[in-house]
Structure formats: structure tokens, C-alpha cells
């Protein structure tokens, strides 16, 4: 009989629990990871609370996990049993045949979505990195088409290194990686918005100017920092809600490009409960002029870019972590109570928008 282990899964809309699942074997190009820590993101609440994009229950939660390689599948040469890794699990949890979530003791992952973790970094910190690091890298260097440096830090400044680039909602964990990547790539005029308590940290991560997104004078403040016509050509909306898109519309050049992290949320928060979410800006409420370019970012498909598939997690991230150019997010560690209770606490924090500048990490089991 196959070995079993504990997983935390959504069982129906509004209901989750601990379940026993069979331990899968890694197939070609895959590895089995013994998970030590898994992170939680708002998407876990979308699945649990509203059944967002769920096709079949149960849905094992979790998109990121850090642990130790327990078994390797055929053809895997980049990783070995015993390696400390942190990995990203693209969405598939809502389909019976899709990848399973990381909120379980063992999970099969594609080797190319796993990065080796340098000894200097603890596994709980490493678990904060994958999804939002990939999202930031993919948004900047694929969707917004910034050139990928030959190495990090960039050996020479990129073309237009002083062009203003806006990272809206840089207090988010995604925003923090975007600032660090822009800095390592040599960009010198990065404008960030975040609540005031994050400003000092965000400057150390690479922001040139930081403004409070709640300020009534935000657009004027940004325009002053930008100079010229006061408009910005490139923006990453690291929150992507109706409210954040509206604020960006005030400062984006009519010929500018903005990357939006799907789904678009009603209101102006990351978690919106039962309020609607959209896959594109509804035409009747689009604050952006038709001349702007909107890039709808779907990190789950980042590996369609072959270069990123072969390099981002296998090579680029381990180097960035080892050199200290990418610092993991601050950890909000949930290690008390049962496995289910830890996940319950994390869901509560996320659904009530109680997370600020840190990542929810669950000790497994």
C-alpha cells in the first residue's frame, strides 16, 4: 500500500480540513520534496472562501514550499536527494490532474520550478521567495520587456537606466522583489508607493523615491519627482485592484505600459471576500486611456518563456540569494497549534488584509 501523509485542503466553498493523501512518485523531470515550510498568499483565501477557479475538490492549498529533495524523477540532473530547495507550484490545484498544493508533508514539483537554497538562508525565509520573486522577474523582464542583464548586479547600466519606473504597492512582498530586481539590474529612478512605515526599508531595497499611496497629493508628488511632463512610461501594479489602477492612471503616460497582477480585485485591497474579481479591466470602468498598453500578468504561465523556464529558478535565483542581492521577505511564522490551526490562522490574516510587508509561513506539519 502506498504511504500516506497529511495535507490541508479546501473541501468545499468555505470549508477546509486536514486530509490524508497518497504520496505520489516523481515522474520525468520532477522531484519529490519533503516540505518543511509552506507559504500562504491571498490566492489561498480565494480558493478556500469563494472557490475561485476551483474545478474539483479537494484542493490542497499552497503555492510555495521549502524543504529537502526526497526523491528525483527520471532525467533530473540539476538536483539531488538531500538538496535544500524552495519551489513554486503553479496553479493546478483545482484540477484533479493538476499539480498539487504545497501545504502537505511531501509534494511532487517540476525540477525547473525549484531553486537550491544557499546554506546562509533558513528554509522558512526561503519559503517566502518563489511565487512573488517569479512574478516580479516575469513582470519586469518579460511582460514589461526590460532587457535581462547578463549577470546580477548588471555589469553596465541598462539603456534608459534613469527612466522613471513606478512600483505601485511596493510594501507588498511582490513589490519588494521588484525593487530589489530593478536595483540589481541597474535602474536608478525607481518610484515606489507604500504606507509610510515601509519607506525606510524600501529605500534600502532600491527605491529612489517613496510616496504614501494614501496621500491626497500622490499624483502631484510623483509628477514633481518625475519632472518633465510628470508622467511615467512604465509601471508595475503590485496590488492590482480597481483603486490602484485608478491611482496609476493619474500618473501613467498615455503612451505608457502598466503590468497588472491578475486577478483584478474590486475595491482597493488584496483580499476582497465575495466581491468580484476580473481577468481584464471592465471596459465601462477603465480609467486608462485607450492608448496605454496593459499587460495582464499570469505568473502560472511564466515557463512558456523557455529562457525563464531553464534559468530563473535553476540558476538566477540561487545566485541572487547567495550574493544577497535578493533578500527574502520578513517571515510571519505560524508554528503553534495543529497543522490545520496554523493554516486557519494564516487564512484569517490574509482574508482580513492583516498582512503588511511580510509573508505568512506555515511550519509543516
Query: Smallest distance from the beta carbon of 129 to ligand NAP, in angstroms?
Result: 12
Judged by CB under 6 A, does residue 328 bind ligand NAP?
A: no
Query: Smallest distance from the beta carbon of 243 to ligand NAP, in angstroms?
Result: 5
SS3 144: coil
Are residues 264 and 240 in contact, defined by beta-carbon separation less than 8 angstroms? yes
Q: Which stretch binds ligand NAP (CB under 6 A): 108-116, 158-166, 264-272, 310-318?
A: 264-272
Are residues 202 and 179 in contact, defined by beta-carbon separation less than 8 angstroms? yes
Q: Which stretch binds ligand NAP (CB under 6 A): 128-136, 226-234, 282-290, 319-327?
A: 128-136
Q: Which stretch binds ligand NAP (CB under 6 A): 1-9, 76-84, 165-173, 216-224?
A: 165-173
Between 21 and 59, name the residue whose CB sits nearer to ligand NAP.
Answer: 59
Binding-residue total with ligand NAP (CB under 6 A): 32
Judged by CB under 6 A, does residue 305 bind ligand NAP?
A: no
Give the residue from 327, 318, 331 showing the smallest Cα distance to 118.
318
Residue the block writes with cell 468580484: 276
Give the up-direction half-sphere exposure of residue 250: CA atoms within 13 A in the CB hemisphere: 14
CA pair distance 137, 82, nearest whole angstrom: 28
Residues 41/252/159/150 CA torsion (nearest 10 deg): 10
β-bridge pairing 252-261 and 293-297: parallel
Pick from 161, 298, 309, 340 the residue near ligand NAP by CB under 6 A: 298
Between 30 and 142, name the residue whose CB sits nearer to ligand NAP.
Answer: 142
Backbone angles phi, psi at 104, to 5 degrees: -160, 165
Per-residue interface string for the shown chain with ligand NAP, residues 185-224, x marking contact by CB under 6 A = --------xxx--x--------------x-----------
CA pair distance 32, 155, nearest whole angstrom: 37
Site for ligand NAP in 10-49 (CB under 6 A): 41-43
CA angle 335, 338, 341 (to 5 degrees): 85
Judged by CB under 6 A, does residue 270 bind ligand NAP?
A: yes
Residue the block writes with cell 515522474: 27
Site for ligand NAP in 226-255 (CB under 6 A): 238-240, 243-244
Pick from 268, 281, 294, 309 the residue near ligand NAP by CB under 6 A: 268
Q: Which stretch binds ligand NAP (CB under 6 A): 140-148, 167-175, 180-188, 249-257?
A: 167-175
Residue 259, beta-bridge partner list: 236, 295
DSSP state of 196: G
CA pair distance 36, 20, nearest whole angstrom: 17
Query: Smallest distance from the beta carbon of 305 to ligand NAP, in angstroms?
Result: 13
Query: Smallest distance from the beta carbon of 185 to ligand NAP, in angstroms?
Result: 19
Give the residue from 250, 279, 238, 276 showing the smallest Cα distance to 262.
279
Pick from 158, 163, 356, 363 the residue near ligand NAP by CB under 6 A: 356
Judged by CB under 6 A, does residue 132 bind ligand NAP?
A: yes
DSSP state of 111: G
Binding residues for ligand NAP, per CB under 6 A? 41-43, 131-132, 135, 169, 171-174, 193-195, 198, 213, 238-240, 243-244, 261-262, 268-270, 297-299, 355-357
Amino acid at each position: 500500500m502506498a504511504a500516506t501523509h497529511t495535507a490541508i485542503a479546501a473541501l468545499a466553498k468555505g470549508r477546509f480540513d486536514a486530509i490524508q493523501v497518497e504520496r505520489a512518485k516523481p515522474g520525468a523531470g520532477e522531484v519529490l520534496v519533503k516540505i518543511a515550510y509552506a507559504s500562504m498568499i491571498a490566492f489561498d483565501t480565494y480558493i478556500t472562501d469563494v472557490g475561485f477557479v476551483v474545478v474539483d475538490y479537494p484542493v490542497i492549498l499552497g503555492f510555495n514550499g521549502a524543504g529537502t529533495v526526497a526523491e528525483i524523477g527520471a532525467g533530473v540532473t540539476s538536483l539531488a536527494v538531500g538538496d535544500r530547495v524552495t519551489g513554486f507550484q503553479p496553479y493546478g490545484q483545482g484540477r484533479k490532474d493538476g499539480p498539487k498544493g504545497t501545504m502537505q508533508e511531501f509534494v511532487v514539483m517540476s525540477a525547473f520550478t525549484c531553486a537550491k537554497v544557499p546554506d546562509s538562508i533558513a528554509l522558512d525565509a526561503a519559503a517566502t521567495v518563489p511565487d512573488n520573486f517569479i512574478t516580479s522577474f516575469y513582470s519586469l523582464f518579460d511582460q514589461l520587456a526590460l532587457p535581462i542583464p547578463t549577470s546580477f548586479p548588471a555589469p553596465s547600466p541598462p539603456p534608459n537606466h534613469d527612466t522613471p519606473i513606478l512600483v505601485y504597492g511596493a510594501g507588498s512582498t511582490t513589490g519588494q522583489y521588484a525593487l530589489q530586481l530593478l536595483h540589481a539590474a541597474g535602474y536608478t529612478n525607481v518610484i515606489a508607493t507604500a504606507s509610510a512605515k515601509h519607506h525606510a526599508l524600501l529605500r534600502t531595497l532600491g527605491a529612489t523615491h517613496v510616496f504614501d499611496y494614501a496621500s491626497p497629493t500622490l499624483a502631484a508628488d510623483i509628477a514633481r519627482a518625475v519632472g518633465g511632463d510628470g508622467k511615467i512610461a512604465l509601471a508595475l501594479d503590485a496590488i492590482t485592484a480597481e483603486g490602484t489602477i485608478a491611482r496609476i492612471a493619474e500618473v501613467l503616460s498615455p503612451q505608457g505600459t502598466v503590468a497588472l497582477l491578475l486577478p483584478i480585485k474590486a475595491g482597493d485591497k488584496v483580499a476582497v471576500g465575495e466581491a468580484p474579481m476580473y481577468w481584464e479591466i471592465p471596459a465601462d470602468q477603465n480609467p486608462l486611456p485607450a492608448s496605454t498598453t496593459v499587460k495582464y500578468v499570469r505568473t502560472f504561465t511564466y515557463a512558456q518563456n523557455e529562457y525563464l523556464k531553464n534559468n530563473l529558478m535553476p540558476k538566477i535565483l540561487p545566485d541572487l540569494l547567495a550574493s544577497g542581492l535578493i533578500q527574502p521577505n520578513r517571515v510571519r511564522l505560524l508554528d503553534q497549534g495543529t497543522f490545520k490551526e496554523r493554516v486557519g490562522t494564516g487564512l484569517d490574516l490574509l482574508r482580513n488584509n492583516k498582512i503588511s510587508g511580510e509573508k505568512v509561513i506555515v511550519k509543516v506539519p
